[in-house]
Chains A and B, each alone.
Chain A
């Protein structure tokens, strides 16, 4: 199915749909309360306000870090609305006097405000009514008890009826590959955010939201304003080649291919994280130095089941060619858990800690052996490395290496060419950090998966809104772990690539460089802003900032250090006027 809409941010992307429900306004009903329930209803409203505030604080923090603070102020205004005693009292009074349910009271009080706003003559000021709507919807969702679960552990293309600025920012930026929305009249803020993030966005897509389901494959081409749902293999291919042709001229003369040096001359390598073929174009366009992470499990979604050895071999050879001299790092299927499975998998009580990644592969050894054979054969055509996901100690590395050696021997017996295959460990389980020295002696490189590392280290479910406040990337324990891992790699003389969401966020990228990271990998679309940032900072200062963060007692303190220090040293990158006042009472 195809749609055509209005492009508000350039680019092209393909991936899977994540439907975002922004909460409708049409389905709010009035319920009459019994007098004895009124107190409880007021408390329910107050709890929703607190939850909404917590969410907004997290969103604002995220916006400051990822967008350099430029656009965070809109959330400041929204936060103040939730602190506005006059308005809160109005809602509470309405609940008490009219014996109304909280949803209805919020709607009445908001509509009253919106009506007054509609009278404002000044266009720019009148547009602020979108902030009121945004806050109102957030409150209604909080009241509904629906956790706005945003399980963005993989990249996704957001499909929404109307995307409010806060919803856009709430998502993990580095995982949002594109935005498509039904409504044409979205607020300019969201368009600005999409452009700031360098992700494509198309609006005015009638009924796309109704037709798309989370997990569907989708292609977004903001160049032509076109959206294709359920693309066929041929469409995907046509699309890819078409885009490649268009970009060959666009790339000429661009300096993205020059080595990235910090202001004091330290070289930083930026690789690309990829999953779907249409992204390959971005890899060339933004001058990625190789593929830092190829998530191989996408091959399952492409053909609805386990891919054959031949299919995998072709796909890996293509990825190796794309990586060129810098090569490509292919992560073994990360199946199980909440990700896709080979189909024979029963639901687990605690999937994040369950049979997933390398554990799943060992349990389904023929699947693993097929993948290893395909990788070895493809490695004969270009430079390929394999990344073992969810490693917790060297026994898993040895077992995987043994399988690689056995399959190599079998291929040779069969007279088939097998290339060199370096073996690396994904460092994402805290145990691996603690035994990093031992691991470093037995692998060829480390890949640091910061998303899962934070989740496991801090014991926080990334998808659970209730604990969102505990998911702190700058927690000193996270920073210590990254430092320790990089030092272990340096000690053994092997490279360490940081390939989590953290690397794609400019402020965090500075901290990573300060912690000693020299190789980062991220979605290709994030590379320009990270490149821009790192080219202007010096590694010496970054190291000083990282040192201060490491000494911080809490994540709050570390964030404060980052905000203040980045703003002070590079005001052009992190404008000081947008830095929040020192925290008080929060």
Chain B
């Protein structure tokens, strides 16, 4: 099992488009991918869009990412890269 803390950096937070990208990315791996709000709120299965949306993670939210499975290293890297890159969205200055 691997884990890491990440922060949502894009302006709109984990909205529909970002959530869709996250779910597509996580679903590409066999490992289970879990996201939990560090402030003690909701826990989400990163392969379920409804549960990801329910995190209601706006910009600045800290998430604790837990990945477990055969390809956990790759999965963790891919998901972290995506979140830290702000889901490839243009950032407002």
Interface positions of A (Cβ within 8 A of B): 73-74, 76-77, 80-81, 83-87, 113, 116-117, 120-122, 124-126, 128, 131-132, 577, 581
Contacts and interface: CB of A to CB of B under 8 A. Distances in A.
B12 interface: yes
B50 A124 contact: no
A80 B20 CA distance: 7
Contacts of B24: 80, 581
B23 interface: yes
A125 B53 contact: yes
26 contacts: A74-B16, A76-B16, A76-B17, A76-B20, A77-B17, A77-B19, A77-B49, A80-B19, A80-B23, A80-B24, A81-B49, A81-B50, A83-B49, A87-B48, A87-B50, A117-B54, A120-B56, A124-B12, A124-B13, A124-B58, A125-B13, A125-B14, A125-B58, A128-B15, A128-B16, A581-B24
Contact of B54 (A83, A116, A121): A116
Interface residues of B, number: 21
Contacts of B45: 86
Nearest to A76: B20
Contacts of A581: 24
B58 A122 contact: yes
A76 B49 CA distance: 10
**By CB atoms of chain B within 10 A, which of A74, A83, A84, A87 has the most?**
A84
A581 B17 CA distance: 14
A26 B51 CA distance: 26
Given A86-B48, A125-B13, 16 more contacts: A73-B17, A77-B16, A80-B49, A86-B45, A86-B51, A116-B54, A117-B54, A121-B56, A124-B13, A124-B15, A125-B53, A125-B56, A126-B56, A128-B16, A128-B53, A131-B16
**By CB atoms of chain A within 10 A, which of B17, B23, B53, B58 has the most?**
B53
Nearest to B57: A125
Contacts of A121: 56
Contacts of A113: 50, 54
A86 B50 contact: yes
Contact of A77 (B20, B47, B56, B88): B20
B15 A125 contact: yes
A159 B45 CA distance: 40
A85 B48 contact: yes
Contacts of B13: 122, 124-125
B91 to A, nearest CB: 13
Nearest to A87: B50
Contact of A84 (B15, B49, B56, B88): B49
Nearest to A128: B16
Contacts of B19: 77, 80
A207 B49 CA distance: 36
Given A122-B58, A125-B13, A128-B53, A73 B48 contact: no
Interface string B53-77: 1101010000000000000000000
Contacts of B54: 113, 116-117
Contacts of B15: 124-125, 128
Contacts of A125: 13-15, 53, 56, 58
B48 to A, nearest CB: 4
Contacts of A74: 16-17
